[in-house]
Chain A
Amino acid sequence: MARFSQVNGELVPFTSAEETARDIEEAAWLADTPRREAQAVLEAWDAKGFTRAWESTMAPIEAAGNVSEYDANVLEEKRAARAVVVG
Protein backbone atom coordinates (compact mmCIF):
# COMPACT_ATOMS: atom_id res chain seq x y z
CA MET A 1 0.00 0.00 0.00
CA ALA A 2 1.41 3.33 -0.98
CA ARG A 3 2.07 5.69 1.87
CA PHE A 4 1.53 9.42 1.98
CA SER A 5 2.66 12.38 4.00
CA GLN A 6 0.31 15.23 4.81
CA VAL A 7 2.41 18.34 4.31
CA ASN A 8 0.62 21.46 5.50
CA GLY A 9 -2.62 19.71 4.69
CA GLU A 10 -1.62 18.55 1.18
CA LEU A 11 -1.08 14.86 0.41
CA VAL A 12 2.37 13.93 -0.89
CA PRO A 13 3.19 10.33 -1.87
CA PHE A 14 6.23 8.60 -0.40
CA THR A 15 9.25 8.09 -2.60
CA SER A 16 10.48 4.51 -2.92
CA ALA A 17 13.38 5.37 -0.60
CA GLU A 18 10.95 6.69 2.00
CA GLU A 19 8.82 3.53 1.67
CA THR A 20 11.88 1.36 2.27
CA ALA A 21 13.00 3.42 5.27
CA ARG A 22 9.53 3.29 6.82
CA ASP A 23 9.31 -0.47 6.28
CA ILE A 24 12.56 -0.85 8.22
CA GLU A 25 11.36 1.46 11.04
CA GLU A 26 8.07 -0.38 11.45
CA ALA A 27 9.74 -3.80 11.36
CA ALA A 28 12.16 -2.69 14.07
CA TRP A 29 9.31 -1.38 16.24
CA LEU A 30 7.29 -4.58 15.88
CA ALA A 31 10.32 -6.78 16.51
CA ASP A 32 10.96 -4.84 19.72
CA THR A 33 7.43 -5.38 21.04
CA PRO A 34 8.25 -8.30 23.41
CA ARG A 35 11.05 -6.29 25.03
CA ARG A 36 8.84 -3.22 25.46
CA GLU A 37 6.05 -5.27 26.98
CA ALA A 38 8.44 -7.00 29.36
CA GLN A 39 9.92 -3.64 30.35
CA ALA A 40 6.41 -2.38 31.07
CA VAL A 41 5.81 -5.38 33.34
CA LEU A 42 8.97 -4.61 35.30
CA GLU A 43 8.11 -0.92 35.61
CA ALA A 44 4.57 -1.74 36.74
CA TRP A 45 5.85 -3.95 39.55
CA ASP A 46 8.48 -1.35 40.48
CA ALA A 47 5.74 1.27 40.75
CA LYS A 48 3.91 -0.96 43.20
CA GLY A 49 6.99 -1.26 45.39
CA PHE A 50 8.15 -4.65 44.16
CA THR A 51 11.56 -3.28 43.25
CA ARG A 52 14.96 -4.89 42.93
CA ALA A 53 15.59 -3.94 46.56
CA TRP A 54 12.41 -5.81 47.48
CA GLU A 55 13.68 -8.82 45.52
CA SER A 56 16.89 -8.72 47.57
CA THR A 57 14.98 -8.77 50.83
CA MET A 58 12.99 -11.73 49.52
CA ALA A 59 16.06 -13.81 48.66
CA PRO A 60 16.67 -15.29 52.14
CA ILE A 61 12.94 -15.77 52.69
CA GLU A 62 12.69 -17.62 49.39
CA ALA A 63 15.79 -19.67 50.21
CA ALA A 64 14.19 -20.70 53.49
CA GLY A 65 11.08 -21.78 51.63
CA ASN A 66 8.89 -19.26 53.41
CA VAL A 67 7.83 -17.05 50.51
CA SER A 68 4.08 -16.53 50.11
CA GLU A 69 2.30 -17.68 46.98
CA TYR A 70 1.62 -14.07 45.94
CA ASP A 71 5.25 -13.00 46.33
CA ALA A 72 6.42 -16.13 44.55
CA ASN A 73 4.24 -15.22 41.60
CA VAL A 74 5.61 -11.67 41.55
CA LEU A 75 9.16 -12.95 41.63
CA GLU A 76 8.46 -15.40 38.84
CA GLU A 77 6.82 -12.76 36.68
CA LYS A 78 9.62 -10.27 37.23
CA ARG A 79 12.29 -12.84 36.42
CA ALA A 80 10.55 -13.90 33.25
CA ALA A 81 10.19 -10.28 32.16
CA ARG A 82 13.79 -9.45 33.00
CA ALA A 83 14.98 -12.40 30.96
CA VAL A 84 13.17 -10.95 27.93
CA VAL A 85 14.52 -7.43 28.53
CA VAL A 86 18.08 -8.58 29.05
CA GLY A 87 17.79 -11.06 26.19
Chain B
Amino acid sequence: MSDLRVNTIGDSAGIGPVDTLPRSGGSAFTLGPNWGALEFVSGANISNVTNIDVTSLAVGYDYIFSIQGAVPENDGVILTAQMMQSGSALSGASNYMDTDASTALELIAGNTIGNAADEGINIDVLFPEPNVADRRKRLITTSYSGAGTGGGETGIASGEPWGGRLDVNINACDGIRFLWSAGDWQALGKIYTFRRRLS
Protein backbone atom coordinates (compact mmCIF):
# COMPACT_ATOMS: atom_id res chain seq x y z
CA MET B 1 0.00 0.00 0.00
CA SER B 2 1.41 3.36 -0.99
CA ASP B 3 1.15 6.71 0.74
CA LEU B 4 -1.40 9.26 -0.46
CA ARG B 5 0.61 12.44 -0.87
CA VAL B 6 -1.04 15.85 -0.69
CA ASN B 7 1.97 17.98 -1.40
CA THR B 8 0.39 19.69 -4.39
CA ILE B 9 -2.34 21.31 -2.29
CA GLY B 10 -1.51 24.85 -1.26
CA ASP B 11 -3.21 27.21 1.11
CA SER B 12 -4.35 30.72 0.16
CA ALA B 13 -0.91 32.13 0.84
CA GLY B 14 0.61 29.67 -1.57
CA ILE B 15 2.38 27.86 1.18
CA GLY B 16 1.35 24.30 0.79
CA PRO B 17 0.82 22.27 3.92
CA VAL B 18 3.01 19.52 2.59
CA ASP B 19 2.32 16.37 4.47
CA THR B 20 1.73 12.71 4.04
CA LEU B 21 -1.32 10.87 5.23
CA PRO B 22 -0.39 8.13 7.67
CA ARG B 23 -0.62 4.59 6.40
CA SER B 24 -3.00 3.67 9.19
CA GLY B 25 -4.56 5.32 12.21
CA GLY B 26 -2.57 8.10 13.75
CA SER B 27 -3.69 11.60 14.56
CA ALA B 28 -0.64 13.59 13.53
CA PHE B 29 -2.08 14.59 10.20
CA THR B 30 -4.97 17.03 10.34
CA LEU B 31 -6.53 18.80 7.41
CA GLY B 32 -6.23 22.51 8.04
CA PRO B 33 -9.18 24.90 8.24
CA ASN B 34 -8.59 26.08 4.71
CA TRP B 35 -10.89 23.72 2.88
CA GLY B 36 -14.27 25.15 3.71
CA ALA B 37 -15.20 22.85 6.53
CA LEU B 38 -16.32 24.02 9.92
CA GLU B 39 -13.48 23.93 12.39
CA PHE B 40 -14.21 22.80 15.93
CA VAL B 41 -12.99 25.38 18.44
CA SER B 42 -14.28 24.36 21.83
CA GLY B 43 -16.97 22.58 23.82
CA ALA B 44 -17.96 23.12 27.43
CA ASN B 45 -20.59 21.78 29.76
CA ILE B 46 -23.05 24.46 30.82
CA SER B 47 -22.80 25.31 34.53
CA ASN B 48 -25.30 26.97 36.84
CA VAL B 49 -24.23 30.47 35.81
CA THR B 50 -25.83 33.72 34.71
CA ASN B 51 -23.70 34.38 31.62
CA ILE B 52 -22.01 32.06 29.18
CA ASP B 53 -19.14 33.93 27.55
CA VAL B 54 -17.03 32.83 24.63
CA THR B 55 -14.11 35.18 24.19
CA SER B 56 -11.02 35.58 22.03
CA LEU B 57 -12.88 35.33 18.70
CA ALA B 58 -10.17 35.49 16.07
CA VAL B 59 -9.88 37.71 13.03
CA GLY B 60 -10.74 36.08 9.72
CA TYR B 61 -13.54 33.70 10.73
CA ASP B 62 -17.30 33.43 10.97
CA TYR B 63 -18.36 31.78 14.23
CA ILE B 64 -21.17 29.33 14.91
CA PHE B 65 -22.29 28.71 18.47
CA SER B 66 -24.24 25.55 19.11
CA ILE B 67 -26.11 25.31 22.41
CA GLN B 68 -27.58 21.87 23.00
CA GLY B 69 -29.95 20.65 25.67
CA ALA B 70 -29.88 23.86 27.68
CA VAL B 71 -32.56 24.76 30.22
CA PRO B 72 -33.14 28.06 32.02
CA GLU B 73 -33.60 28.25 35.76
CA ASN B 74 -36.57 30.64 35.44
CA ASP B 75 -39.74 29.62 33.66
CA GLY B 76 -40.90 31.47 30.55
CA VAL B 77 -37.78 33.40 29.66
CA ILE B 78 -36.17 34.46 26.38
CA LEU B 79 -32.68 33.49 25.26
CA THR B 80 -30.64 36.57 24.45
CA ALA B 81 -27.06 37.43 23.52
CA GLN B 82 -24.71 40.35 23.80
CA MET B 83 -21.58 41.02 21.77
CA MET B 84 -18.25 41.77 23.42
CA GLN B 85 -15.61 44.33 22.58
CA SER B 86 -12.20 44.28 24.25
CA GLY B 87 -13.47 41.45 26.41
CA SER B 88 -16.46 43.37 27.83
CA ALA B 89 -20.08 42.67 27.00
CA LEU B 90 -22.02 45.58 25.53
CA SER B 91 -25.16 46.01 27.61
CA GLY B 92 -26.27 49.61 27.21
CA ALA B 93 -29.97 50.43 27.08
CA SER B 94 -30.08 50.84 23.29
CA ASN B 95 -26.97 48.99 22.20
CA TYR B 96 -28.93 46.53 20.02
CA MET B 97 -31.85 46.53 17.62
CA ASP B 98 -34.13 43.56 16.98
CA THR B 99 -37.82 44.39 17.07
CA ASP B 100 -36.89 47.37 19.20
CA ALA B 101 -33.90 48.94 20.87
CA SER B 102 -32.70 46.81 23.72
CA THR B 103 -29.87 45.78 26.04
CA ALA B 104 -29.49 42.36 24.34
CA LEU B 105 -30.55 40.58 21.16
CA GLU B 106 -33.45 38.16 21.37
CA LEU B 107 -32.46 34.90 19.67
CA ILE B 108 -35.95 33.38 19.42
CA ALA B 109 -38.83 35.37 18.06
CA GLY B 110 -41.78 35.80 20.35
CA ASN B 111 -41.26 32.52 22.17
CA THR B 112 -40.29 31.91 25.75
CA ILE B 113 -38.55 28.82 27.04
CA GLY B 114 -39.67 26.69 29.95
CA ASN B 115 -37.57 25.37 32.80
CA ALA B 116 -38.95 21.83 33.23
CA ALA B 117 -36.82 18.78 32.48
CA ASP B 118 -38.58 18.21 29.14
CA GLU B 119 -38.33 21.88 28.13
CA GLY B 120 -35.33 24.05 27.30
CA ILE B 121 -33.69 24.67 23.94
CA ASN B 122 -31.31 23.45 21.24
CA ILE B 123 -30.09 26.31 19.05
CA ASP B 124 -27.41 27.28 16.52
CA VAL B 125 -26.40 30.92 16.22
CA LEU B 126 -24.23 32.37 13.45
CA PHE B 127 -21.99 35.38 14.18
CA PRO B 128 -20.63 36.44 10.77
CA GLU B 129 -17.16 38.00 10.75
CA PRO B 130 -17.28 39.35 14.29
CA ASN B 131 -13.71 40.53 14.47
CA VAL B 132 -13.68 42.93 11.56
CA ALA B 133 -13.83 46.68 11.93
CA ASP B 134 -16.17 49.05 10.15
CA ARG B 135 -18.98 46.66 9.28
CA ARG B 136 -22.35 46.19 10.94
CA LYS B 137 -22.47 43.14 13.23
CA ARG B 138 -25.44 40.82 13.37
CA LEU B 139 -26.39 37.57 15.04
CA ILE B 140 -28.53 35.09 13.12
CA THR B 141 -30.35 32.17 14.66
CA THR B 142 -29.90 29.51 12.01
CA SER B 143 -31.95 26.79 13.68
CA TYR B 144 -33.58 25.99 16.95
CA SER B 145 -36.16 23.90 18.65
CA GLY B 146 -37.31 24.64 22.13
CA ALA B 147 -40.15 24.05 24.53
CA GLY B 148 -41.97 26.71 26.46
CA THR B 149 -44.04 26.39 29.58
CA GLY B 150 -46.34 23.43 29.10
CA GLY B 151 -43.86 21.47 27.03
CA GLY B 152 -45.08 22.30 23.52
CA GLU B 153 -42.25 22.48 21.02
CA THR B 154 -41.64 25.48 18.83
CA GLY B 155 -38.86 25.99 16.38
CA ILE B 156 -37.76 27.14 13.01
CA ALA B 157 -40.94 25.83 11.42
CA SER B 158 -43.37 27.48 13.78
CA GLY B 159 -41.32 30.32 15.15
CA GLU B 160 -39.04 32.55 13.17
CA PRO B 161 -35.31 32.51 12.80
CA TRP B 162 -34.17 35.61 14.55
CA GLY B 163 -31.28 37.77 15.57
CA GLY B 164 -30.56 41.41 15.09
CA ARG B 165 -27.82 43.97 14.91
CA LEU B 166 -25.38 45.72 17.16
CA ASP B 167 -26.59 49.28 16.94
CA VAL B 168 -24.21 51.23 19.12
CA ASN B 169 -21.21 50.97 16.79
CA ILE B 170 -19.63 48.94 13.97
CA ASN B 171 -16.37 48.14 15.74
CA ALA B 172 -14.74 44.74 15.87
CA CYS B 173 -16.13 42.26 18.38
CA ASP B 174 -14.03 39.63 20.13
CA GLY B 175 -16.59 37.70 22.12
CA ILE B 176 -20.21 36.80 22.72
CA ARG B 177 -22.33 36.38 25.84
CA PHE B 178 -25.44 34.21 26.08
CA LEU B 179 -27.90 34.96 28.88
CA TRP B 180 -31.56 34.56 29.70
CA SER B 181 -33.84 37.54 30.02
CA ALA B 182 -34.03 36.73 33.74
CA GLY B 183 -32.44 34.10 35.94
CA ASP B 184 -29.56 31.71 35.34
CA TRP B 185 -28.76 28.62 33.30
CA GLN B 186 -29.35 25.24 34.81
CA ALA B 187 -26.29 23.01 34.85
CA LEU B 188 -27.56 21.08 31.84
CA GLY B 189 -26.46 20.84 28.24
CA LYS B 190 -23.38 21.94 26.37
CA ILE B 191 -22.14 24.85 24.31
CA TYR B 192 -19.95 24.19 21.29
CA THR B 193 -18.04 26.75 19.25
CA PHE B 194 -17.18 26.23 15.59
CA ARG B 195 -15.71 28.62 13.02
CA ARG B 196 -15.22 28.83 9.27
CA ARG B 197 -12.33 30.58 7.65
CA LEU B 198 -12.99 33.62 5.44
CA SER B 199 -10.03 33.21 3.14
- Which residues of A are at the interface with B, using a C-beta cutoff of 8 A? 3-9, 11, 14, 21-22, 25-26, 29-30, 40, 43
- Which residues of B are at the interface with A, using a C-beta cutoff of 8 A? 42, 44-56, 77, 91, 103, 110, 177, 181-185
What 15 new A-B contacts, CB under 8 Å, besides A5-B50, A6-B47?
A: A4-B47, A4-B50, A5-B52, A5-B177, A6-B44, A8-B42, A8-B44, A8-B53, A8-B55, A8-B56, A9-B44, A9-B45, A21-B91, A29-B181, A43-B110
Cross-interface CB contact of B47 among A11, A14, A26, cutoff 8 Å: A11
| B109 CB, min distance to chain A CBs, angstroms | 11
Q: Which of B44, B45, B51, B77 gathers the greatest number of chain A CB atoms within 10 Å?
A: B51
**Nearest 5 A-B pairs (CB), nearest first?**
A9-B44, A5-B51, A3-B50, A26-B182, A7-B53
User: What is the total of A-B residue contacts with beta carbons within 8 Å?
Assistant: 49
Q: How far is the CA of A21 from the CA of B82 in the complex (A)?
A: 14
Which chain B positions have C-beta within 8 A of A43?
110
Instruction: Identify whether the interface residues of B are mostly helix, strand, loop, or mixed.
Output: loop
| B44 CB, min distance to chain A CBs, angstroms | 4
Q: How far is the CA of A80 from the CA of B44 in the complex (A)?
A: 46
| A64 CB, min distance to chain B CBs, angstroms | 36
| A71 CB, min distance to chain B CBs, angstroms | 25
Q: How far is the CA of A41 from the CA of B179 in the complex (A)?
A: 25
Q: How far is the CA of A9 from the CA of B105 in the complex (A)?
A: 22
Q: A25-B103, A26-B183 are in contact. Are A6 and B110 (CB under 8 A)?
A: no
- Residue pairs across A and B with Cβ atoms less than 8 A apart, 8 shown, are A5-B49, A5-B50, A6-B185, A8-B44, A8-B53, A11-B47, A21-B91, A25-B103
B182/A11 in contact, CB under 8 A: no
Which chain B positions have C-beta within 8 A of A3?
49-50, 184
Q: A25-B103, A40-B110 are in contact. Are A6 and B52 (CB under 8 A)?
A: yes
